[in-house]
Structure 1
């Protein structure tokens, strides 16, 4: 039996529509990534203060060394719980997104896809000196899922 082009087109179109209904696009990943990016943007004044401290003293600060650096940050986003200076100039951003209904569906649970909820999750910005300039790594530390970080952290390169 030969299948015509029209029949094949109909079958694949139907499968595509059913797939979209069963596995809808996960728009909440975009929301979580936007909140994460907002945290990085909010931490920028502290990053600049760490860079200035390193240029002046030749080493990265710790919270214990200079607690005045953390006063550089004003948090206006309700989804950012705190921004703290840690050991070696690391900046830890913690999030609180309990006010968002993340809409966990049955297919998330079936496919073992974790929630996009960022509550109690952290993103750590890690400074390093590379060829005389400071480079910030936001991919290697913290508990924020990779898919909620910048594109280069997600492994899709």
Structure 2
């Protein structure tokens, strides 16, 4: 388990819910996917075109519905299901350039859902947000232990 912060918010990345990944295009530098960094994975449907509108809508939906993800996770976006970065289209790349983010096509060893992850080595780890406990009511936190990265 790794603990990290984005701004004043604390998170943990859990190893037992991790999955290996690789950048699909060997021409893309792996250096852009920095080790020990938060990322956002967008799982694409079979016929999904990751253009500007798709990326904007998906990120807005995640930011509105997921209590873990925050803008700090969107500096690096990993597209799962896109065959090559060429399929991302210029509109998708333009979207990221205008936001100052990096965009990569990836493949994984197991299916995962869209959302925030943490890169450690060649692993994507599930991320949980740590909440303040000013009353000291909780002795320990609870995270799933089933090892299922799609959960």
- The structure carrying a bigger strand percent of its residues is 2
Which structure exhibits the higher relative contact order, with contacts defined as CA atoms closer than 8 Å and separated by 6 or more residues?
Answer: 2
Task: State whether TM-score is above 0.5.
Answer: no
TM-score bin (small chain)? under 0.3
TM-score (norm 1): 0.25
TM-score, normalising length: structure 2: 0.26
